[in-house]
Amino acid sequence: MQIIVVGIGGVGGYFGGRLALTDHRVEFVARGTHGKAIRENGLEVKSIDGDFRAFPYKVHETLDTIDAPDLVLVCTKSWQLEEVAQQLAGRIKSNTLVLPLQNGVESVEKLTGHLDPGQVLGGLCKVISKIDGPGIIDHFAFHPQVIFGEVNGERTERAIALEGVFRSAGIDVILSDDIQLAVWRKFLFICMISGMGAITRQEIGVMRADEHIRALMETSGKEILELAKHKGVGLTEKDLENAFRAIDAQKYHSTASVQRDLMAGRPSELHDFNGYVVREAEKYGVEVPVNAFIYYCLRPMEAKSRAHE
């Protein structure tokens, strides 16, 4: 299988690196010094599960030079998806599969705005990793896992085949029959800690131990449950309990990518997390005061970071 991995950051670097260890033809799209380092020395992955170095078949600077892959694994930030979709249109085959692994809940919609909906799968991943320098990925927490599935929940031959590709790379994978619900469950967890971490500028261990911050995180989660109910997504109080179990299981010094990006003055996925909750809540007449407070307090920082792009 010919696989293109777009975005060789923490997510694309780890899972793309694992795939590049197989016999599949795996190509990366990575720019600048990061791409140059991978091209010259391979991709070094430092992992709590064991370090490895992977050598992709080719490293592209842009999507302009890719050639009709069988699978495109999109591992960019959520706000970059529409641009990626526009660039992919006309460069992929009619049977190419496109699998996004972002944290937001609009990934499929953003891609299908420019690509054939029949080509797009739903997906998410679980891993905490980051770029540690040009050509280097640091996987420092969380058991890596990919969860994906057909948007309509069918268990198709192509999905089963793709499940086998991930397994051949030693990747823990789940083929879901309700990928929308799976995506929202992760969104609930991420959204509860991301904006709050950026507001407080504290590690997850500090936030979960502070009764007042913890209560605010819980209220923000309940707001997301209410929004999900209006959107026909089956999130429950049990999912909120599980989200807190995941929060309590994180290493004390963990932080979310939105927090790290905003604190570093980089564009973040704020608009796709708390911002998404605020925008959708307005459509359904749902009150989301905690998410709104987080979003509107952080929005000037986000605007400043994008002005400097």
Domains of the chain by start residue, with CATH:
2-177 (3.40.50.720), 181-307 (1.10.1040.10)
Q: Could you tell me where the beta strands, DSSP code E, fall in 101-160?
A: 122-133, 136-149
pLDDT tier for residue 249 given thresholds of 50, 70 and 90: very high
Let me know how many helices (H) and strands (E) the chain has, helices first: 12, 10
pLDDT in tens, 146-174: 999 999 999 999 999 999 999 999 999 99
CA separation, residue 109 to residues 22, 25, 52, 85 (Å) = 31, 28, 35, 11
pLDDT at 90: 85
Please state the rounded mean pLDDT for residues 273-288: 97
pLDDT above 80 (res 309): no
Q: What percent of the chain has pLDDT over 70?
A: 99
pLDDT in tens, 172-191: 999 999 999 999 999 999 99
State the pTM of this model: 0.94
pLDDT tier for residue 306 given thresholds of 50, 70 and 90: confident
pLDDT in tens, 201-246: 999 999 999 999 999 999 999 999 999 999 999 999 999 999 999 9
- The packing angle between helices 274-284 and 179-200, to 10°, is 120
Annotate 80-95 with b (16+ C-beta within 10 A) or e (fewer): bbeebbebbeebbeee
pLDDT in tens, 104-120: 999 999 999 999 999 99
Partnered with residue 188 across adjacent β-strands are none
pLDDT at 235: 96
Q: What are the two backbone dihedrals, phi and then psi, of residue 186, each rounded to the nearest 5 degrees?
A: -70, -40
pLDDT at 307: 86
What is d(CA 199, CA 263) in angstroms, rounded to the nearest whole number?
A: 10
What is the greatest pairwise CA distance in the chain? 54
| Lowest-pLDDT range of 27-31, 108-112, 247-251 | 247-251
